[in-house]
Amino acid sequence: MALIAATMVKREDGDLGLCRGFRLPSILEGEGDRVLRPPICASKLANLEMACYIFPVQTMSHRKVPHRISLLIRNKTQSFQSDSHAKQSTLLIKAYLDNGLLKQARQLFEEMPERDVVAWTAMISGYTAYNHHNFAWMMFKDMMRESCDHPNAYTFSSVLKACKGMKSLSCGAISHGLSLKHGLVGSSIYVDNALLDMYATCCISMKYACSMFQEIPVKNQVSWTTLITGFTHRDNGVAALQVFQQMFVEEAEKSAYSFSIAIRACAGITSYTYGTQIHASVVKHGFGHNIPVTNSLLDMYCKCNHFQEAENCFNEMIQKDDITWNALIAGYQNSNPIKSLQLLSQMELHGCPPNHFTFSSIITACTNLSVLTCGQQIHGKIFKIGFDQNLPLANSLIDMYAKSGNIEDSRRVFLELANRDLVSWTSMMIGFGSHGYGNEAVRLFNQMVDSGIRPDTIVFMAVLTACSHAGLVNEGLNYFKLMIEKYKIIPNREIYACVVDLLGRGGRVDEAYDVIQSMPFRADESIWAAFLGACSRSPHGKPNLGALEVLDLKPRKTGVYVLLANMYASQGKWGDRAEMRRLLNESGNKKVAGRSWVEVHDRIYSFVAGDGGGSLEPLIYQVLIVLGLHMVEQIQVSQL
């Protein structure tokens, strides 16, 4: 294949220009623009002085649609002529892949008369780099079928990364077998580490990962970090820290990576004690100004509720990145949502653009703040930046609007979503449920199943709660059955609590009691609280069931005593009521009074039952009277 090369130079404006030789035929110009302009960014060009176009002569015809324009970025020190044709093509493939041009890379690859391991491996790792793990695996399968060339350590480390990406243990095990066959296990640390990582990611337990780790003849920093990461991501912080400790015992060299993940493990188990110890070690090892390390320290202090130390970390950091800001914003989202909002504006003032992580925390902060106008402003901002189709964000907006009492806007966000995931549906169902729209929630559940999404435990909790609040007892029971029989989901405590609540509120107290007795585990105080709560709210009586059982548990929830006290009071059993009050005082806990609040103009008015809401009191009672009149009217209309 004859090739024509034209030399390209970097123009003053940073773009590429045609230097000498010939103009591109007009038919190629469009293609040239498309292929060349987007992938070449100024940073890529900074250390490249020269680039070459190569394209087959036959495509020079003006009439024929060009087959391809290939872009070759070369370092000027490299000699162009000395490379073989296969090497040139592989280089081109690399250049395409580096610039995200997967289709062009694939086409060039398909057209290569002979493909060597390097070309195959480049394709596999290219697909993996862009998260097309399935394509990477298909490439590998094709390679094993077609190629007489042997896969090497590079190939297997890429393939195993694809298996990790697919979370496929079977593919991983096949790759393990093949890499053993090619003698690469125990001889290449890259393959060994990739295998370790694959088993740590794809298996339910860490058993295989641990034995893989044992078999690595000479472990390096990566091996240790990968093992610790496996435990940490599995929420086994204790085991992760044991491995980290073992690194000290064996005097293995520590890296910033191993410190970051170990600190994350501390955060996961909220161990301030280990966290501070590791902090000291971080400083000793000279990682005190490493950004990921200090970011995870900052996060750890937040998760351990040591905000002063988190602030210290933050202030002492010489360099901050978006994660630094996000970690602190996320840290304050529950305990001090106003602080989160203040940090957001500071973040922007420092020229650090917020991303979807930031907004996710900020929406939670707004939800906690229950100030609808704040949430609306943030929503506007999200829309302006174009994050409104970001699923996690949209899902938290659905939740925020619902919790702020604005179910219409909650629904609007839901409807405007082009794609919905399980969380979107669940959030919407919970929103409908809490607003008393049980039928809407049920309808949504059916729509969700029709759209091909498989419900999980939390979805069923949402449906059961919605049914319970809307008095749809039989529907709820049907869903409980559906969950067990069709979806083979084993009900947990929360689900049983929902069913008990459903039956109790519906006045079917005996059935609720039977459910509690037939549960595969002993009822805890939460289940009894659900039972007593539901029964006391129902006018159907018989609430004495379960009272003695729950007292046996010596519950720590103050609500349980309050429920029982109110129950006895309603029956005129004043002696028993006094006993409950005594137990409540004895427990030393105080029941926190439920608070209501309302946003009027730019002020929040908060009040508990009986205190009247301060300056708003006359207004609240006026609204209440009007609402009462509306209700009476509605009842009269429905009785007509």
Scanning the structure block, which residue is given the tokens 């989202």? 333
Scanning the structure block, which residue is given the tokens 């709210």? 537
The residues near 472 (Cβ < 8 Å, ≥ 6 apart) are 438, 439, 442, 466
CB of 340 to DNA, least distance (A): 10
- Angle formed by the axes of helices 422-434 and 457-470, nearest 10°: 20
What does each C-alpha distance from 594 to 117, 562, 608 come to in angstroms? 68, 13, 6
CB of 577 to DNA, least distance (A): 40
Which of positions 61-90 make contact with DNA (CB under 7 A)?
A: 87, 90
Is residue 193 near DNA by the rule CB under 7 A?
yes
Q: Which of 10, 176, 234, 264 binds DNA (CB under 7 A)?
A: 264
Is residue 220 near DNA by the rule CB under 7 A?
yes
Q: Using the rule CB under 7 A, give the single segment among 137-145, 349-357, 550-558, 602-610 that binds DNA.
A: 349-357
Name residue 355's amino acid.
N
CB of 189 to DNA, least distance (A): 6
Is residue 360 near DNA by the rule CB under 7 A?
yes
Distance of alpha carbon 531 from alpha carbon 215, whole angstroms: 54
The residues near 97 (Cβ < 8 Å, ≥ 6 apart) are 105, 122, 123, 126, 129
- How many chain residues are in contact with DNA, going by CB under 7 A? 68
CB of 82 to DNA, least distance (A): 8
Q: Kindly report the number of other CB atoms within 10 A of residue 30's CB atom.
A: 11
CB of 116 to DNA, least distance (A): 5
Is residue 100 near DNA by the rule CB under 7 A?
no
Is residue 153 near DNA by the rule CB under 7 A?
yes
Minimum CB distance to DNA smaller for 10 or for 264: 264
Structure-token pair, residue 315:
């202030």
Q: Using the rule CB under 7 A, give the single segment among 26-34, 249-257, 336-344, 515-523 that binds DNA.
A: 249-257
CB of 256 to DNA, least distance (A): 5
Which of positions 120-139 make contact with DNA (CB under 7 A)?
A: 121-122, 125
- SS3 call for 418: coil
Structure-token pair, residue 349:
């003032």
- Angle formed by the axes of helices 189-202 and 221-233, nearest 10°: 0
Q: Which of 168, 229, 236, 340 binds DNA (CB under 7 A)?
A: 229
Which of positions 602-631 make contact with DNA (CB under 7 A)?
A: none
Q: Report DSSP state, residue 462.
A: H
Distance of alpha carbon 172 from alpha carbon 195, whole angstroms: 8
Q: Quickly list DSSP for 295-339.
A: HHHHHHHHHTT-HHHHHHHHHH-SS--HHHHHHHHHHHTTT-HHH
Q: Which of 267, 313, 407, 567 binds DNA (CB under 7 A)?
A: 267
Is residue 197 near DNA by the rule CB under 7 A?
yes
CB of 261 to DNA, least distance (A): 4
Q: From its phi and psi, is residue 488 left (phi > 0), alpha (psi between -120 and 50) or beta?
A: left
CB of 295 to DNA, least distance (A): 3
Is residue 232 near DNA by the rule CB under 7 A?
yes
Q: Which of 256, 343, 448, 495 binds DNA (CB under 7 A)?
A: 256
Is residue 236 near DNA by the rule CB under 7 A?
no
CB of 357 to DNA, least distance (A): 4
Distance of alpha carbon 92 from alpha carbon 97, whole angstroms: 9
Minimum CB distance to DNA smaller for 193 or for 468: 193
Q: Kindly report the number of other CB atoms within 10 A of residue 331's CB atom.
A: 27
Structure-token pair, residue 241:
């820290």
**How far, in whole angstroms, is CA 271 from its chain's centroid?**
23
Is residue 330 near DNA by the rule CB under 7 A?
yes
Burial category of 217 from C-beta neighbours within 10 Å (exposed 0-12, middle 13-18, buried 19 and up)? exposed
Q: Which of 18, 52, 117, 178 binds DNA (CB under 7 A)?
A: 117
Which of positions 381-400 make contact with DNA (CB under 7 A)?
A: 390, 392-393, 396
Distance of alpha carbon 25 from alpha carbon 59, whole angstroms: 10
CB of 94 to DNA, least distance (A): 6
What is the four-CA torsion angle of 140, 141, 144, 150, rounded to 10 degrees? 10
CB of 423 to DNA, least distance (A): 7
**How far, in whole angstroms, is CA 583 from its chain's centroid?**
43
Minimum CB distance to DNA smaller for 133 or for 264: 264
User: Per-residue string for binding with DNA, 501-540, x by CB under 7 A?
Assistant: ----------------------------------------
From 71, 54, 72, select the one nearest 4 (Cα to Cα).
Answer: 54
Q: Which residues of 621-634 are buried (b: 16+ CB within 10 A; e: fewer)?
A: eeeeeeeeeeeeee
CB of 322 to DNA, least distance (A): 6
Minimum CB distance to DNA smaller for 317 or for 482: 317
Is residue 175 near DNA by the rule CB under 7 A?
no
Is residue 189 near DNA by the rule CB under 7 A?
yes
Q: Which of 99, 364, 424, 538 binds DNA (CB under 7 A)?
A: 364
Q: Report DSSP state, residue 58.
A: G
Binding site for DNA (CB under 7 A): 87, 90-91, 94, 116-119, 121-122, 125, 152-157, 161, 188-191, 193-194, 197, 220-222, 224-226, 229, 232-233, 255-261, 264, 267, 291-293, 295-296, 299, 321-323, 326-327, 330, 333, 355-358, 360-361, 364, 390, 392-393, 396, 423
